[in-house]
Amino acid sequence: MIFSIHKIYAYKFTNFSLNLVSLLLGFYLSTILSTIPAQTGDWNIINASIIVTINEIFSKFFYSYYKKHKPIFMDISNSIKIGIIYGLFVDAFKLGS
């Protein structure tokens, strides 16, 4: 079996693979967003509330603007948002244990 660069460029991403990569990207972003300001130790709750508020503002904008049809970037942004919220829950469980 010969591995070629042409096969990599010819690969077409499906919706499932794009959503999975977006979910993992959101999880990674939540780890970054929750650990950088938390170095002081007292910004954890404020930081999480700011991130969730920004997520909800984006959701309100996207769902009010695209009512009839749903483009692919909306699916990707939803997967990123789900990954961010999931990452915040995982961080909260890590801090609680």
User: Which residue ranges make up each domain of the chain?
Assistant: 14-96
pTM of the model: 0.70
Nearest to 20 by CA among 78, 66, 61, 62: 78
Give the count of beta carbons closer than 10 Å to the beta carbon of residue 80.
23
Question: What is the sign, positive or negative, of the torsion defined by CA atoms of 36, 42, 48, 50?
Answer: negative
> Tens digit of pLDDT per residue, the chain (97 long)?
556 666 656 667 778 888 899 999 999 988 887 777 666 666 667 777 888 888 888 888 877 777 777 777 788 888 888 898 898 888 878 767 6
The Cα 30–Cα 13 span in angstroms is 24
